[in-house]
Structure 1
Amino acid sequence: MIIEVYFDVVCPWTWVGKRRLEAALAVLGEAAPTVRWLPYLLDPTAPRQSISLAENPEAEAAQLQSVPGFNVDLLKQRVAQLAGAEGLPTPVPACRVSTWAAHRLIQDAADQGPQVQSAVVEEIMAAHFSGTDINRLDFLGAVAARFGLRPPAGAGDASHAPAYLEPGFDPQDPGERATREAYWAGRARDIASSPTFVVHGAALVGAQPVETLVNHITSAPALPRELPDEVRRIRLAEALLDRRDPHGCLYVLAPLRQEHDGDPNLEILTARALLASASLRPARDKLAKLVERYPGDAYLHGLLGRALKRLGDPEAKAHLAIAGALAPDEE
């Protein structure tokens, strides 16, 4: 059994939740599941260069997962109380920081086993909550060296690692791909809080008491049937597109191209994502080929018509009319 924990390293609730999860695993003993730490971003727009929380206090509210109307000072007091109860020092983060490079190290650490990954998570979180800027390349490089991980990506004399989706990471780098796909899998599952504990698809949100975590693990549903990689990717891509993330959809589909290029399901889903991402000319070209292959498909004519209309092409009317004639009930 595996328990997947979606979290961000700047989330103090996760620091508390990690201690409680460790206590729950001790209760379960040999029946304890393997823990896999997966990325969730509380602040996906955090810049490469970290910003002092003293100068940007609203960022601390985001890290506490505050909502309008809640008093941030009271939340900080509550976090301090919970941390103290778990034997942790009071969290005192110093900056708004991009956590993407830290998550890349954590995903890299998973290849060395759950104990190593847990230790890397602990070291990075403890550093952040003691005031360290965890996106500095010197800090990340020291962690990588200590655990035998690949050094963080950086450019020239930069002091900080690139932020999420910022130029500087090779999108096809294995570490970047593993981290992006893990993050987007969480988005497709509608993960919206740190920490979220997932066992066989069943999610539990928040730094829950030990008893609640034990019950969540022991009452997990049966393990779902494992899907072939190509089916898993198609379903993940569809979920991302449904959640209006066409770029994530295209990224997840890319590895299927070499072996399954030309497959109609892959081509149609790719065309839909291109259209949704406003890549109108590539969408038009792909849809035109699909319509040529399947001239009786009303849905494809409709998609092509929409692409052409947005491009200002007069041929749009003809394809929209064909779509209406082929499937009049769907107008």
Structure 2
Amino acid sequence: MPSLLPEGINRVLVTGGAGFIGGAMVRRLLAHTTATMFNLDKCGYASDLTGIERLGPEAVQRHQLLRVDLTDADATAAAVRQADPDLVMHLAAESHVDRSIDGPGTFIESNVIGTYNLLQAVRAHWEALPAERQQCFRLHHISTDEVFGSLGATGRFSETTPYDPRSPYSASKAASDHLVSAWHHTYGLPVVLTNCSNNYGPWQFPEKLIPVVILKAVAGEPIPLYGDGANVRDWLYVDDHVDALLLAATQGQLGRSYCVGGHGELSNKQVVEAICALLDQRRPAGAPHARLITPVKDRPGHDRRYAIDPTRISTELGWQPRHNFEEGLAATVDWYLSNLDWCDQVRERAGYAGERIGVGA
């Protein structure tokens, strides 16, 4: 079987591997490598293993779930010892801005304290490795473009953009980025960092914009559009992000950060209207779905615009997105229409019925 991993990388620990991006990473490595996968996840409200379980018995045999909350330092250290990894990819995070507005403490505990606990556990593991394994070992920390704050009408984020987080979520991720960088410079821990733009695609928990719009429209319910709908995001298809993460994790320069964006700048209103147009084609009985678009009060502290300049990862590592937004969105809409039962199941399990959250600033 062809491998996406270099020689010597046989045991991979992914934190947050039952989440959206982490799950996509676990599925890719199970399907296209022979590595043994250790999936450290606290199995919170948005966690789900269905996509991994659908890969079949051979892949599932190489997948081991370690149900651990990173805020538990002792359990985290024990999980790292059990996994004995050659590569750690740290994707576990509380990531929904709206939820961070209502409950910021959870984000500080998970994203800051959890990252600290992981760094300490990984550092102890790395320092105890024999020399040949030490040379191959890496920790890859995955973060967000939201740490950079809000852009005006022009310009794009890059690796030299000053940090300027505006929400409890982005502030907690900024703190975790700084911790990872400090453990590299102070202790020599071999790390790589990436900051990505908004991800979308199959298996995303239906609280984020694109799945929310699809499910609201299918149900004939009002589609909430925050404020004037002109807030701009740079949309990145999740499989393209996985491509970038694997390149950064295995070929990136130690101590270096890489910004990953999908060349997909669109306003929220444009995204919502594009989803409605696709649904008009696929479910004409409900057309025009755009009639359901309903402006609502804007989110507190809503950043106006994000955009990423991915020149570094493109020139140094050869990464380019394989999907444009139109292709990726069509594939995403079709996936959700074919998996409405899954959406119902995960929302019911999480006790979330699609209601708006994050308005209580």
Same fold by TM-score greater than 0.5:
no
TM-score, normalised to structure 2, is 0.26
Q: Greater CA radius of gyration, 1 or 2?
A: 1
TM-score, normalised to structure 1, is 0.28
Task: Write 1 or 2 for the structure with the bigger share of helix.
Answer: 1
Task: Write 1 or 2 for the structure with the bigger share of strand.
Answer: 2
